[in-house]
Structure 1
Amino acid sequence: MQKYNLLERLLFPPTYFNKKKLSSKLKGKTILITGASSGIGEKVAYLLADIHTNLILVARREEKLSIMKSEIEKEVAKVSIFRADLRNKEEMEELLAFIHRLPDGLDIVVSNAGISINRSINNSLDRYHDFTRTMAINYFAPVQLLLSVIPLLEKNKGQIISISTVNALLIPIPFWAAYQASKSAFDTWFRSAALELNMMGISTTSIYLPLVRTPMILPTTAYLKMPAMCPNHVAQIVCKSMYTKRKKYRPWWLIFGQLTSIFFRGILETYIPNVLRKRREGK
C-alpha cells in the first residue's frame, strides 16, 4: 500500500475490516468484477485471493487477466476470466450468456469499469465521440449488465457494489462534462433502482471516491501532486462492504463540499467563469 503523506492521512483515515468475517461471508460465493485488469478492480481481486470464492474477472486486456488468474489461483480462490469491451454489443451479449450459464448463479457484482476524460468544451467541439463513448462505458454498459443479472442476484439475495465518484454528489466543475455527466447518470439510476432492488432482497452499495492513484489519472499531470487514495485502501473499503452491506461510503469531508455546492452555488457559478476567462486572456 502506498504511503500517505500527512494531508492524505487526514483526508483518508485507515479502514479496518475483519478478514475472518469477510472469509466467512464470501465462502463459496461467485463475484463478478468489471474493470478487473488494473486499479481498484485488480486490487479487489487480489484481496480476495485467499478466500474460497469464485471470481469472474472482466476487462479488455486478456493477457493481464491471464496473469492475474495464474497468480490468484496460487491461493485458494477460483478464477474465470472474460475478455470483453463492455461497449461492444456482441461482447456484452457473450459475457451475459456466460454469466447465465454459471451453475450457482451470481452473488456479488462489483461495477467498476469506467473511463475518464478531462477536456474543455472548446476542445470538444469536434469530439462528440468523447461523450458517446464515456456514456457507453460509464452508464449504458453497467445498466445493461445489471438489468440482465438482477434475477440471478435476487435468487441468491446478492449484492451490487457501484464504484462511483464524489463528483456525482457535488456541483459540476469545468473540463469534466463528459465524465461527470456519465457518472452522475449511472449514480442517479442506481440510487433510484436501489429502492426496488432492496425490496427484492438485493443489497446495494455506492462507493463515492475522491481521486484514486490509478492508471486512469495518469493523463492528467496536475493530479500527480494532488492528494489521492491508494487503490489498495479502496479495495479494503469495497471488500468490507461485502460483509457489512453498508449502503454507501463517502469520505468524511464530503459533507462540507456538498454544503458548499448548495449554499455557494451562485457564487461559484459566477466566480469560476471569471477565473477561466482571465486564464484564457492571459495565454
Structure 2
Amino acid sequence: MARRLHLKLPDIRPHARELAGTLVRRLDATLFPGMHLRRRIQGKTVLITGASTGIGEALAYRLADAGARVLLSARSTEKLEQVVSAIVDAGGQADAYPCDIANPDDCERMAAEILAEHPHVDILINNAGRSIRRPVIHSLARFHDFERTMQLNYFGAIRLTMALLPRFREQGGGQVINISTLGVQTLPARFSAYLASKGALEMWTQVAANELGHENIHFSLVNFPLVRTPMIAPTEIYRYSPALTPAQAVDWICQAIITRQKRVGGVSAQLATLMHMSLPKLSEAIVNMGYQMTPESAAARGKTPRKPVGDGDYGDNVRPLRRRRRQ
C-alpha cells in the first residue's frame, strides 16, 4: 500500500512582510540615503572583505561614519591597521582581521575568531576579488588562472558565508552582499576565468536566497561596471575607459544595505541580458569584433605593466599574508 506524502504548509509571513517593505525602502534609499543608512546599520556589526584598499576601504569609512562596527579583512596587516586607526580616530568602531580568504584554513580561522569575539554579525559583504584578463587561447598552459579566481571569488566567498550562516539563524536574520560584475551580463571577451567564478557565485547566491528567505536571511548581488581601483590597474586600456569612483561604488552597496533588493546594477546590465537572450548570434558577433579590435594587456603578453604616473601604490594586492598581531 502506497504511503501518503505529507507536505508542510510554507510560512508566507516573512515574504509578505518583505514584499510590503520593498517599495518603501527603495523610495527611502532614493530620497534620504544618508538618514536611512544610519537607521539601518547603527549599532550593527558589518564584516567587509577586501577592506584594505579601493571599494572596501571607502565602504569601511562610510559605514563606520554611519554608526556600524566594521570588521575589516584583507591580506595586508599594515594597511588594515591604518584604516582601523583612521576610523577609531574619527570616533568610529573597527577591528582588523588579516586573512587570505583564498586559503581555506586561514578563512576558517578568521571566521572562528570573529564568531568567538563578536556576539552577532549582521551583514557580510564579500568584496574581496581577483580579476584576470586573458583570452582562452592564451590560458591553455595557465589552468591555475581558473583555480585562483575560483579559490577567492567563489570558494572563499561561500566558505566565509557558510561559516556565518549558523550565527545568522541563531540571531534571527542577517544579510549577505556579494560583489559581482556587469560582465556576468555583458560577457566581455578575455575574462573567462573571472566571469566563471563570478557566475558561480551568483548562482550559489540565488539558490541560497531561495532556501533561506523565510528565515530572514537576505542575499543581494551588486553588479559593478569598471571601478577605478587597484584591481583594474594592470590593464592599460582601462586607464582611458569610463569607470565608477570608489565613492560611487559605495553608494551602490549602501543601496543594497538599505533596500535589501536582490540585485543592484545599471540599465546596461538589463539591456545586455535582453540582447544575449533575444539575439544571441548578433550579440556574439558584436563582442567578437570588439575582441579582434582591442589589444592584449601587458600581463597577457607576459610583460610587466607600466605603472601610471601619479597613481597610488598597488602593492597591497600582492603582499604575502601577515598574521594578525596579538596584543
Q: Under a length normalisation based on structure 2, what TM-score does the superposition of the two structures give?
A: 0.76
Are residues 1:78 and 2:93 paired? yes
Superposition pairs for residues 106-185 of structure 1, below 5 Å? 106-156=121-171, 157-170=173-186, 172-185=187-200
Identity level (%): 35
What is the aligned-residue RMSD (CA, Å)?
2.1
> Distance in 2 between the 1:56 and 1:140 partners?
20
User: Which structure has the greater CA radius of gyration?
Assistant: 2
| Partner of residue 222, structure 2 | 207
State the aligned residue count. Answer: 266
From 247, 254, 257, the equivalent of 1:239 is 254
More moved, 26-35 vs 87-96: 87-96
- Show CA shifts across 1:92-132 (max 9, x none): 12101112213422100011110000011222121111110
Q: Is the 8 A contact 2:64 2:94 kept in 1?
A: no
More moved, 202-211 vs 57-66: 202-211
| Partner of residue 65, structure 1 | 80
**TM superposition shift of 1:49:** 2.6
Q: Is the 8 A contact 2:220 2:260 kept in 1?
A: yes
Q: Is the 8 A contact 1:30 1:55 kept in 2?
A: yes
From 71, 89, 93, the equivalent of 2:108 is 93
| Partner of residue 9, structure 1 | none
**TM superposition shift of 1:254:** 2.2
**TM superposition shift of 1:74:** 1.5
> Distance in 2 between the 1:49 and 1:75 partners?
9
Q: Is the 8 A contact 1:54 1:79 kept in 2?
A: yes
Change over 3 Å in CA distance of 1:41–1:276 after alignment to 2: closer
> Distance in 2 between the 1:32 and 1:146 partners?
11
Segments of 5+ residues of structure 1 without an aligned counterpart are: 1-14
Q: Give secondary structure in 2 for the equivalent of 1:208.
A: strand
| Partner of residue 236, structure 2 | 221
> Distance in 2 between the 1:189 and 1:110 partners?
15
Q: After the TM superposition, which segments of 4 or more aligned residues of structure 1 sit over 6 Å from their partners? A: 277-280
**1:169 counterpart letter in structure 2:** Q
> Distance in 2 between the 1:137 and 1:37 partners?
16
Q: Is the 8 A contact 2:103 2:156 kept in 1?
A: no
**TM superposition shift of 1:258:** 1.5
| Partner of residue 251, structure 1 | 266
Q: Under a length normalisation based on structure 1, what TM-score does the superposition of the two structures give?
A: 0.87
Segments of 5+ residues of structure 2 without an aligned counterpart are: 1-29, 296-327
> Distance in 1 between the 2:94 and 2:86 partners?
10
